[in-house]
Amino acid sequence: RLVGSSRLGRNLLTRPKFAVGLLVILAMAASENLWIGDLPADIDQDTVMQVFGAYGTVESCKVIPPKAPGTNAAAMVKYATVEQARWVLENLTGNVAEGLSDPIVVQFAKNPIGGWGKAWPKGG
């Protein structure tokens, strides 16, 4: 479910840089692991699980706090399947997820091989 009038197709037609960026993102290695940016600075793990659990089965997640005051948070989210992760990427990038108030950025994690490194939750 999407909130607001912004849709992927409209973004592709009206924002050429968005279209090129989306093609680069889709060309990256697909995996269950997503990096989600432009999240509220005060978001917590329970909220990430609730918001993104509405779009598929979230196996685990980790909030990445803002690097500096006034900047946004991010999260690493692992879905049960590549298909679920791909759906979230294709449908939520540049859109407002249910439960949030601003558009988000979604990418496949840059380190899908060998896990998440330090960002991956213990026991996940």
Output Rg (C-alpha) for the chain, integer angstroms. Answer: 14
How far, CA to CA in Å, does 81 sit from each of 4, 42, 46, 116? Answer: 27, 28, 21, 16
Instruction: Quote the pLDDT of residue 122.
Output: 47
The answer to whether the pTM exceeds 0.85 is no
User: Could you identify the residue written with the tokens 């407002």?
Assistant: 96
Question: What is the tens place of the pLDDT at every residue in 45-103?
Answer: 999 999 999 999 999 999 999 999 999 999 999 999 999 999 999 999 999 999 999 99
